Amino acid sequence: MLVIRPITSSDYDALNTCAVESGHGFTSLPVNEELLTNRITHSEYSFAKPDVTEPGDEGYLMVGVDSETGEVAGTTGIEAAIGWDVPFYSYHISTVVHSSPKLGVNNVVKLLTFGNNYTGCSEICTLFLRPQFRQGLNGRLMSKSRFLMMAEHPHRFSKTVFAEMRGVSDEHGNSPFWQWLQEHFFSIDFTLADYLTGIGKKGFIADLMPKLPIYINLLSKEAQAVIGKVHDNTAPALALLEKEGFTCRNYVDIFDAGPTVECDVRNINAVRDSFKVTVKIASHQSNSTYLIANTSFEDFRATAATASVDRETGIALLSAEVAQALNVAEGESVRLLAQ
């Protein structure tokens, strides 16, 4: 059974393994001991922070753990409100028309405009599931457990929730989009730029990035072809978010041009469709599977398991094993999402 819980300092080695296995282009998991240690420390601070009434600088990082072996299967996280400590940049794709009625010319062109449009929004991020655990409901659990947390503790998150999807790059970490930017505006390769961003050194972006809009038709054909496209390994994650109601509003990443998708937190399917019940610990014969989360924040737990649910009485029968995994006792509440 895979159980989601807040990360702790003892999980450093496992998080580093995830960073190594995630490969190039995974900005939020750079292979850097100081950064990973700081992320763990900041997450521990954020989960323990008292009296939070609105999203701020909190960053919540969690791990999925095999309940039998104790092995960490992956990681997933939420930034409560990005842009408070370091700037968050993106490109917006817009359309303009260059027209001359006298000449009978009417050209429609697209622009990339540099900006900070997502400042203050909550970001779901750092979702990585190790290859040997990519089976069953593990991927859904790693992703949707965050939405169960948002449904139970909405005051900690912003109205708009977004996710940056990894864009196209090859096995060596080369991005066609970045190669064009590098040639014209930068003198560092994609992997270094991505790494510097991951460790928080973003000053070079504002220093070197063109401030005026870029005409997309002036980019190389290779760069144009990958705008708004995702890395093959990211396609399943994008499909899952789209089913939840996320959509791209024409924002893309400034390095690899991968799409940014967003949704009003109230319209996320998992937030809207999840419901609370009271726990009764007992054996049952139900085959109905749910994603189940406890209602604690500091001691958050989530898993995928069968349960026997009576919506009229508001009672759910959970096995002793599941109740133990969720750290819940009989009479306490859990939040369920049918699968």
Contact 303, 1 (CB under 8 A): yes
| H helices present in the chain, as ranges | 12-22, 33-48, 138-152, 176-184, 190-198, 203-208, 221-226, 235-243, 269-273, 320-326
SS3 content of the chain, % helix, strand, coil (to 5): 35, 30, 35
Number of H helices, E strands in the chain: 10, 16
- The reply to whether 153 belongs to the active site is no
Set 42, 92, 98, 231: catalytic member? 231
Are 7 and 40 within 8 A, CB to CB? Answer: yes
Q: Which residues of 220-259 are buried (b: 16+ CB within 10 A; e: fewer)?
A: eeebbebbbbbbeebeebbebbeebbbebeebbbbbbbbb
For the record, the structure tokens of 244 come out as: 């939840």
Chain mean position to CA 213: 28
Instruction: Give the phi and the psi of residue 260 in degrees, each rounded to 5.
Output: -105, 130
Q: What is the DSSP string of 280-318?
A: EE-------EEEEEES-STT--EEEEE-EEETTTTEEEE
Letter for the amino acid at 84?
W
Question: What's 208-222 look like in SS3?
Answer: HCCCCCEEHHHCCHH
Sorted by sequence, the CB contacts under 8 Å of residue 92 that are 6+ apart come out as: 112, 113, 115, 117, 250, 251
CA distance linking residue 217 with residue 214, whole number of Å: 9
Cβ proximity of 150 and 271 under 8 Å? yes
Q: How far apart are CA 213 and CA 236, in angstroms?
A: 32
Enzyme catalytic residues = 231
